[in-house]
Structure 1
């Protein structure tokens, strides 16, 4: 644990996952950081200018270190071969009373520009998913004393990250919500589905860098057990989705609080990349149709307007309700400080002392 706390200057060995799509508001990230854990801006889909604005907004709320999460994969893509899927999706657009879908889609990538923003804004930690940053970008970040956290779902991926110069590896068990970091989804169409305990044990035995556990973690008992195993810390996403400071919309929040662990499935219906979500009508109908799901990020771009309208109109059946298998533990919406207090087994009024006690 000490290696993690020292490496990225934390008091509490907890990382708030970099959930893309507007969940990681400046208030959420700052409150996590102020409590002594690592808050993370989910910047995977952001433009460079949007990221700069988010960073500056967080800095207005905290002077503590926080991270930025980026997709290591190049999102730049174009397709005009989308007519069958767009035709299928029109029924949802009709129900939501929004405009028809376009017959071609273009997705832009801002990774290099976002790395420049990270350096310009003096961000101390970058985490990545879906692969390994290029050697050029890694060198650029390292020259500016940026610590790198990489998501891995098997030992081969973890070794690639370590060899490339990453400082900390997150072991993402198949229990994790949303998109896991599996590098090759052609080889692993549903993601590399290794359970968290086995994955952590394998990483601890084979790696010489701090290992952080992620996937279905929802309470203090699990965290204590993982730390006793030797994990340097834990990363949680689902638990923070219902934080009062999170950008999660009301229909999504209600769905999470009603769901149990058996209600999540791994699906590519929304994005074209396997991700764990609460099962709903959209998943059922897309996966049982004869229409081929397009690869990420094309499928993600095609469903973007539907997901956006569903958020606006509070229709959970058409939203990507990303959630890990620990979702059944969520019963209330709480402030970040209460969530962190519960995760480390302290009363809320004791949270000012959390970091000091864990550092001892």
Structure 2
């Protein structure tokens, strides 16, 4: 009898897709990427959409056909209606694993795999990992031009705006100044990378801040020339990373090198302040806590991300200090997530 098959529902975020692929591949079961493209209906709440293909493009709808998989792995808000529709089309036999926060009732899923910044409650079907799903990177040779730079090589990774965090031109200039100070004090060099979310304005400001550097500098600007991000990760002796991205911080930690965070300005908007107030009110008494938990379970109350909580958890566990702790922990979390996912797939098979 053939092994159960997995469909990996790829969405628009590369980081989500990497986690989906990591989990699917680690199961050792047959799997295939299933890219999803969305139309305007995908912006509507999942509670209203439910199990439907209406939020998908015609081409994507046509790609979803039997035989149905034993397991679907999804991530992000927009993929949820498609995952639910696949389970419905299979007669309820396909199992659903969702990575991150589902923006929907928690009991719609067989397993939710998340990290602390999403503030999901502990439930039997919720795994709260310290780190995003990833395989610790294998040692890689250092590019010759980077190996020739004086050490220690400080790898600076710049992100972008991530509500309520702001990475604008002023923040980019401050990041450049802090990086230069660090390189001067250590007698080393800088290798600086921007990300897909770094705005043109912030990129230009960072370049200006480093233009007259009195230490060796190498730049990798996303979308301009060769992307040397992976080369820089391999060559880093230490990291300075903006604190707007859980994935970027985790990538530094998993290299086994010390990670320092560049804290961005917090500018809470109306939605953020409303949710923070709701959480404070919910903590007043046991009944309000139970009500808050019930609303979360039902998908009626969804928190904004709390990246400070995520970073504190990594720091408290010693994962930002360098060494093997983060790598070993990530491997253990992936193994447990694989174990539970495979059990679900095998329970659904044969379809």
TM over 0.5: no
TM-score (norm: length of structure 1): 0.28
Rg larger for: 2
TM-score (norm: length of structure 2): 0.29
